[in-house]
Homo-oligomer: A and B are copies of this chain.
Amino acid sequence: MSVSVSVQEADFDTGAEIAALSAGQPEVGAVASFVGLVRDTSEGSDVSAMTLEHYPGMTEQALEDIVAEAMQRWTLHGVRVIHRFGPLLPGDQIVFVGVAGAHRGESFEACAFIMDYLKTRAPFWKHEETPEGGRWVDARESDESAAKRWSEGWDDIEQRR
């Protein structure tokens, strides 16, 4: 069982991360994974560069909490989350989520769940450079609704304290 979270400026090796999720664990039959990349357009504008700001200290904890919640909901054999910060260019990798399970159902669901929660709960903010100048990316309503389909959305988190 391997569970780990990294917040880093450096790029990552997707193939190595996926291989590590099943290495030495012959009970793993299914690894679902996701890679998020910087796109070269956003809201109709060309994007030449991006900077990811984050909240050091809180970021790791937020990701670990999300992973812990996924592990309560599904029987998993491994979870790996990597999120980059700092300057990035179109085509660059931003985030990796990999989930190892016995069967595909739980691996797919947990991977999508972690991404949906990460999108609404992990303290990262995108600032992009466009021909019209720099601008902060607006949160998408669709991300809020994606997180809510897991039945505990943002509001619940706020009230849970």
- Please classify how large the interface on chain A is, using the bins under 10, 10 to 19, 20 to 34, 35 or more: 35 or more
- A107-B18 CB under 8 A given contacts A26-B91, A39-B102, A102-B39: no
A residues 75-129 with Cβ under 8 Å of B? 90-91, 102, 104-105, 107-108, 111-112, 115
Q: Which residues of B contact A49 (CB under 8 A)?
A: none
The closest CB in chain B to the CB of A119 belongs to B104
The answer to whether B108 touches A112 (Cβ under 8 A) is yes
The answer to whether A26 touches B40 (Cβ under 8 A) is yes
Stretch at the interface among A27-35, A53-61, A62-70, A152-160: A27-35
Please state the number of chain copies in the assembly.
Answer: 2
CA A115 to CA B37, docked complex, whole Å: 23
Q: Is A13 an interface residue (CB 8 A)?
A: yes
Q: Which residues of B contact A3 (CB under 8 A)?
A: none
The closest CB in chain B to the CB of A109 belongs to B112
Q: Which residues of B contact A5 (CB under 8 A)?
A: none
Q: Which residues of B contact A112 (CB under 8 A)?
A: 104, 108
Chain A residues at the B interface, C-beta cutoff of 8 Å: 13-16, 18-19, 22, 26-41, 90-91, 102, 104-105, 107-108, 111-112, 115, 142, 146
What 4 A-B pairs come out closest when comparing CB atoms?
A15-B15, A26-B40, A29-B39, A26-B90
